[in-house]
């Protein structure tokens, strides 16, 4: 029985994770849930799944929650509460599915406690890949990706190396057999609309993703292709792979979730219908596979699969993110923070879609990079970038 703590239990990944946990009552038990503000829904979920701990990031809401919580449910408050939840709830694995950099401290706390992390919040690795992976290595925690592309890569590598795990002790050995990683990208809602004016597209058009049903932040990132850029940095840290050996190919059907090319020229790809539950379940059950009632792949019904080069002229965010990952140090943290602010501004109607990557580039150009950053240097760079992006 694996005890699971879900950070971000009311979001798209979180609610799907609870569905999986409830579908396998003899395998998983949710022992702790964390949300930003919606404590009423968190308490409902906790009672439904039998979780004895909830954490509410917003301290005012946490106080209300503590007043309303039924006997038997402990309430943890604020960022500290999010960070102490995994240990308090006796977790074997922490699923982190909060939005953005808010996942950083709780993930570090889990790593330092030697607790495995099922990671949906890619921003944590983008911004703080070095300190987070070092903490995992030092304390024996694993990071299991809950991102369809990185789950695919892990699955491709698992066939190659029976003991495949992220941050493998024999990463040198593995890297020598891998020529490159190929991340697939759906291309987002504007791939097939070359005439769309990015100065004028509406929030509704941006949020109308053709193949994946996701939260708002990642859906906007998919439309700019920033998401794929963040995934380059994520793959770099998860699989010890140099940035220049991580390629991106556009694949609009989203059936192949990513590929690994080995030194002999063989390519292994992982396929399924696009549904996040595959990656969530694989991370929770890893290294096992559980028989599930998920939609099955019907290739004749699917028909042709297509592949294309990404258009970095139309979608400069992809190249910006690759540049930041290549530069390293605190630059990816700055890219990530500036992007979070830019996406927020776009979703509030304050800036045009086309301003998102311009704003990110502007903040990056002003940053003095700190190399080999520890967690404090990352946090400082993140705060600096938010301030500069907020004023830009
Ligand atoms: Mg992804």
Distance 236 CA to ligand 1 centre (A): 14
pLDDT at 166 (0 to 100): 46
Per run of 10 residues, the mean pLDDT along the chain (length 392 residues) is 97 96 97 97 98 98 97 96 96 95 95 96 95 93 95 85 45 70 95 94 89 84 96 94 95 97 95 96 94 94 96 96 97 97 97 97 98 96 98 92
Please provide residue 160's backbone torsions phi and psi, each rounded to the nearest 5 degrees.
Answer: -80, -40
**69 with 94: CB under 8 angstroms?**
no
The pLDDT tens digits for 346-369 are: 999 999 999 999 999 999 999 999
Strand order in the sheet with 267-271: 246-250, 178-185, 256-262, 267-271
364 alpha carbon to ligand 1 midpoint, in Å? 23
- Minimal CA–CA distance to 356: which of 318, 310, 311? 318
How close is the Cα of 146 to the center of ligand 1, in Å?
A: 8
| Phi and psi torsions of 387, nearest 5° | -65, -50
Residue 100 pLDDT: 86
Residue 365, phi then psi, degrees to nearest 5:
-65, -20
CA of 258 to the centre of ligand 1 (A): 10
Ligand 1 centroid–CA 286 distance in Å is 18
Query: Which pLDDT does position 181 carry in this prediction?
Result: 95
Residues 355, 101: Cα–Cα separation, whole Å: 21
On whether the CB atoms of residues 99 and 125 are closer than 8 A, the answer is no
CA of residue 356 to ligand 1 center, whole Å: 19
Residue 99 C-alpha to ligand 1 middle, in angstroms? 14
Distance 148 CA to ligand 1 centre (A): 5
The alpha carbon of 280 and the centre of ligand 1 are apart by a number of angstroms equal to 12
Phi, psi (deg, nearest 5) at residue 6? -115, 110
**C-alpha 152 – ligand 1 centre gap (Å):** 10
Cα 344 to ligand 1 centroid, rounded to whole Å: 20
What pLDDT score was predicted for residue 172? Answer: 52
Q: So what's the pLDDT on residue 160?
A: 60
The alpha carbon of 147 and the centre of ligand 1 are apart by a number of angstroms equal to: 5
* H or E, element range at 80: helix 78-88
What spacing in Å lies between the alpha carbon of 166 and ligand 1's midpoint?
Answer: 17
Alpha-carbon distance 196 to 107, whole Å?
39
Q: How far is the CA of 231 from the centre of ligand 1 (A)?
A: 7
Distance from residue 66's CA to the centre of ligand 1 (Å): 35
Q: Kindly give the distance from the C-alpha atom of residue 283 to the centroid of ligand 1, in angstroms, as a whole number.
A: 14
Q: What order of strands is seen across the sheet that includes strand 116-119? A: 74-77, 53-56, 28-35, 2-7, 93-96, 116-119, 143-145
Nearest residue to 82 via CA among 93, 98, 69, 66 = 98
In this predicted model, what pLDDT tens digit does every residue of 16-64 receive, in sequence order? Answer: 999 999 999 999 999 999 999 999 999 999 999 999 999 999 999 999 9
How much is the pLDDT for 170?
A: 45
């Amino acid at each position: 029985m694996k005890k699971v703590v879900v950070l971000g239990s009311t979001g798209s990944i979180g609610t799907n994770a609870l569905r999986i946990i409830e579908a396998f009552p003899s395998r998983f038990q949710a022992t702790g849930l964390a949300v930003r503000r919606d404590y009423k829904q968190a308490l409902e979920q906790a009672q439904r799944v039998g979780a004895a701990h909830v954490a509410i990031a917003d301290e005012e809401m946490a106080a209300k929650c503590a007043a309303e919580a039924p006997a038997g449910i402990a309430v943890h408050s604020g960022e500290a509460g999010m960070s102490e939840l995994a240990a308090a709830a006796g977790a074997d694995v922490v699923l982190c599915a909060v939005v953005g950099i808010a996942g950083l401290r709780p993930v570090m706390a889990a790593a330092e406690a030697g607790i495995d992390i099922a990671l949906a919040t890619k921003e944590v690795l983008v911004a703080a890949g070095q300190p987070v992976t070092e903490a995992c290595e030092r304390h024996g925690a694993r990071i299991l990706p809950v991102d369809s592309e990185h789950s695919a890569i892990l699955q491709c590598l698992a066939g190659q190396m029976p003991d495949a795990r992220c941050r493998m002790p024999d990463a040198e050995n593995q890297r020598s057999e891998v020529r490159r990683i190929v991340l697939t990208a759906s291309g987002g809602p504007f791939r097939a609309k070359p005439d769309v004016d990015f100065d004028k597209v509406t929030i509704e058009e941006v949020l109308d993703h053709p193949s994946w049903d996701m939260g708002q932040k990642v859906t906007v990132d998919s439309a700019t292709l920033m998401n794929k850029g963040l995934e380059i940095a994520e793959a770099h840290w998860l699989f010890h792979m140099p940035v220049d050996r991580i390629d991106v190919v556009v694949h609009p059907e989203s059936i192949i979730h990513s590929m690994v090319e080995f030194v002999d020229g063989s390519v292994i790809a992982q396929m399924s219908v696009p549904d996040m539950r595959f990656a969530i379940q694989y991370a929770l059950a890893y290294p096992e596979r559980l028989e599930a009632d998920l939609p099955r792949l019907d290739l004749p019904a699917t028909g042709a699969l297509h592949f294309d080069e990404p258009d970095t002229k139309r979608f400069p965010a992809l190249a910006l993110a690759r540049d930041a990952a290549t530069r390293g140090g605190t630059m990816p943290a700055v890219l990530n923070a500036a992007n979070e602010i830019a996406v927020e501004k776009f979703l509030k109607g304050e800036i045009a879609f086309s301003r998102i990557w311009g704003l990110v580039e502007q903040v990056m150009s002003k940053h003095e990079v700190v190399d080999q950053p520890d967690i404090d240097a990352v946090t400082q760079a993140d705060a600096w970038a938010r301030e500069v992006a907020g004023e830009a």
